[in-house]
Copies of this chain bind each other. A is one copy, B any other.
Amino acid sequence: MDKIQQDLFITTVLSNWELAVKRASKVFDSYNDEEILLPIAAGKNRVVYLLGHLTAVHDRMLPLLGLGERQYPQLDDLFISNPDNAATALPPIQELRSHWMATNALLTEKLSAWTPGEWLERHTAVSAEDFAKEPYRNKLNIVLNRTGHLSYHLGQLALLKK
């Protein structure tokens, strides 16, 4: 694999990540601040919960991938540690929307700057010992996994047709 092929491999992975982010942003943008409180199906998570959940999960990618400190750790309590609950007060919706856009822009900028070798480095949730035995537990794996996680929730969001 020459340099051009390496770059193509990475561009293809990155474009799949960017496409999934773009699709999700389009869905979130299609709901106004009232509609975003609708559940994706009866008794299931609200759209706003998935917005907060995906933002928190993507924000967690920063330290996991060695890209820096988290920006919005306060989201975890509402959107990761606890299930959706309409009785709990939410942060302002516009703030959540803005965090979603900012975290993805930051991540995509940083991923775009990686060398091929950096994609294959270990992520911070695996020890050096375990990584020596399981080298597929690398940063590429995290990006592929989180792209899949985003697609998973995109499928759920698609159930609530506008």
Contacts and interface: CB of A to CB of B under 8 A. Distances in A.
Interface band, chain A = 35 or more
A144 interface: yes
Interface of A: 1, 5-6, 8-9, 11-13, 15-16, 20, 40-42, 44, 116-117, 119-120, 135-136, 138, 140-141, 144-145, 147-149, 151-156, 158-159
Contacts of A9: 9, 116, 119-120, 140
Count of identical protomers in the assembly:
2
Contacts of A145: 16
Contact of A12 (B12, B144, B155): B144
Contacts of A1: 1, 6, 116-117
A13 B154 contact: no
A61 to B, nearest CB: 16
Given A16-B144, A41-B42, A144-B16, A8 B155 contact: no
